[in-house]
Amino acid sequence: MAYSDPIYVMFDGDEDAWAYRFMKGWNASENVSFEFANAHDLDNMTSRAQDEDYVKRNLRNRMNGSSQVLVLIGEKTKNLFRFVRWEMELALDLGLPIIAANLNGSRQLDASCPPIIRDKCVVPRAVQDEGYQARACPLA
């Protein structure tokens, strides 16, 4: 049975898009037991996506329609401020549950985790090719 509430996925679009594509592939596959409602499929951004205000307005709308947030934590995620940090701040402001997943194979909270969510989430599993494993953590 598919989880029907949209999940907002955050990631470094330059370095970690491969992990997001894996998730979309698993979701589409009949051979993999992995299903999620992707908040980014709710609408398409137009060619105006170069305008930061336009992008943030659309991302805010997507997040407002989401029930939780998934942060794919790559090597550079903690250094991204323009969108990813802004998205994490918005998720915290909205009180959305945050699921954090390491892409480096670590099954522990490590130095890769962005400080803004380090004390808010637990990263008990890693994202690996054989499947996605992560546990949600409540926000205090």
The full DSSP string for 59-81 is HHHHHHT-SEEEEEE-TTGGG-I
Which of helix, strand or coil describes residue 5?
Answer: coil
pLDDT value, residue 93 = 92
- Quick one: pLDDT band at residue 81, thresholds 50, 70, 90? confident
Share of the chain above pLDDT 70, in %: 71
Query: Is pLDDT of 131 > 70?
Result: no
Query: Is pLDDT of 91 > 90?
Result: yes
Residue, of 46 and 111, whose pLDDT is higher = 111
Tokens coding 126: 């890693």
Query: Is pLDDT of 120 > 60?
Result: yes
Query: Is pLDDT of 89 > 90?
Result: yes
Contacts of residue 70, defined as CB under 8 A and 6 or more positions apart, other chains included, come to: 7, 8, 9, 10, 98, 99, 100, 101, 134
Query: Among 7, 89, 78, 2, which residue's Cα sits nearest to residue 40?
Result: 7
Q: Which of 23-37, 70-84, 93-107 has the lowest mean pLDDT?
A: 23-37
CA distance 116 to 133: 22
Residue position matching structure tokens 């979309």? 24
- Quick one: pLDDT band at residue 38, thresholds 50, 70, 90? low
CA distance 58 to 47: 13
Contacts of residue 25, defined as CB under 8 A and 6 or more positions apart, other chains included, come to: 32
Residue, of 132 and 37, whose pLDDT is higher = 37
pLDDT value, residue 121 = 61
Residue, of 130 and 107, whose pLDDT is higher = 107
